[in-house]
Each structure stands twice: as C-alpha cells, then as structure tokens.
C-alpha cells in the first residue's frame, strides 16, 4: 500500500531519473508538499476550489438543497443528494454543480455538468470523508448566479485511510 511518504519518493525519484509521470497536477503538488500526514486537511485547495467556482459572483444561499446524514456510520460511502430548486428554463438552467468536503485532503468530491435539456439539476452520489466536517455544494446557473449550501456531518471513523 502506498502512503504519502512512498508516493513522494516515487514522484521525486522518477523526476530525478528523467521519467515522466502521468499524475494530475494536484497529486504532484501533494507529493512535493511538506509531510504533515496523508489525511491532513488542505484549506488552501479548498479555498482555491471555491474561488474558481464562484469567480466574481456573489453566492446566494437560496435555491439549492443539500441532503447528507448528520451521522455517517460508513465514511467511505456517505450518501449526498444535491438539487437545484430554482425553476429550470431554456433561458436559465444549472450548468454545473460541485460538492466539496472541507477537511478532506482533496476537497473536490464531485463535479457534475448539466444542459438545458436535462430539465432538472439534481444528483445523488456517495463521497468519502476523512473526518467529521462540513460538506459544501455549489451550483452555477446559466444567468451567472452561484448557489451555495453547506451542512455539518459527523463521521464514525476516517474513510480516506481505508
């Protein structure tokens, strides 16, 4: 099983040997980051994801529902439901929904894109949580509105280290 130290050694060793790795930029950045533990939260990445999604829009807290359990007995598969409650029309529909786990090592849990033809913007997924934390959902409408919602969840044990 690879841990954070092993991954770092592989990435840095391969780079020194002239090999190229097909890893996402975030994985390479994590491999070169100071070792603070493989399950450490990444607040910089979390804030970056929020800033990239919202852009210059002022997020509004109405129009988006987030359904997660208050207590997750299986943190490796926490059920999450997200639904846009604003009317979906040909002029204004939900283009994208993201789900973020604030204290996970990789906060972006899910990204879903929609078209006007979908007629609705809702999804049910399962995410892995590293610890008790707040789950955030954001939706971007065609009109430029950004909808946000969040909910705290308590987990029984870490799901990211399993």
Q: Exposed, middle or buried, 40 (CB in 10 Å: 0-12/13-18/19+)?
A: middle
Question: What does the pLDDT look like over 94-119, one tens digit per residue?
Answer: 999 999 999 999 999 999 999 988 88
Q: What is the mean pLDDT of residues 80-89?
A: 95
Percent of the chain exceeding pLDDT 70 equals 73
The CATH classification number of 43-155 equals 2.60.40.2470
**Which residues, 6 or more positions from 116, have their beta carbon under 8 angstroms from its beta carbon?**
88, 89, 90, 93, 142
Q: Which residues in the chain are classed under CATH 2.60.40.2470?
A: 43-155
- pLDDT of 6: 43
Region 62-84: mean pLDDT is: 95
The model's pTM: 0.74
Query: For residues 99 and 135, is the Cβ–Cβ distance under 8 A?
Result: yes
């Amino acid at each position: 099983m690879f841990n954070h130290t092993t991954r770092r050694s592989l990435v840095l060793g391969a780079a020194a040997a002239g090999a190229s790795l097909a890893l996402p930029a975030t994985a390479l950045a994590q491999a070169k980051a100071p070792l603070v533990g493989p399950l450490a939260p990444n607040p910089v990445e979390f804030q970056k994801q929020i800033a990239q999604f919202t852009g210059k829009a002022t997020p509004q807290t109405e129009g988006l529902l987030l359904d997660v359990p208050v207590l997750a007995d299986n943190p490796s598969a926490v059920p999450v439901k997200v639904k846009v409650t604003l009317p979906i029309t040909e002029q204004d529909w939900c283009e994208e929904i993201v789900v973020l786990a604030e204290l996970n090592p990789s906060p972006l849990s899910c990204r879903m894109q929609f078209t006007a033809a979908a007629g609705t913007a809702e999804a049910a997924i399962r995410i892995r949580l590293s610890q008790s934390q707040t789950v955030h959902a954001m939706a971007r409408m065609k009109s430029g509105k950004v909808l946000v919602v969040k909910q705290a969840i308590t987990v029984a044990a870490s799901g990211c280290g399993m």
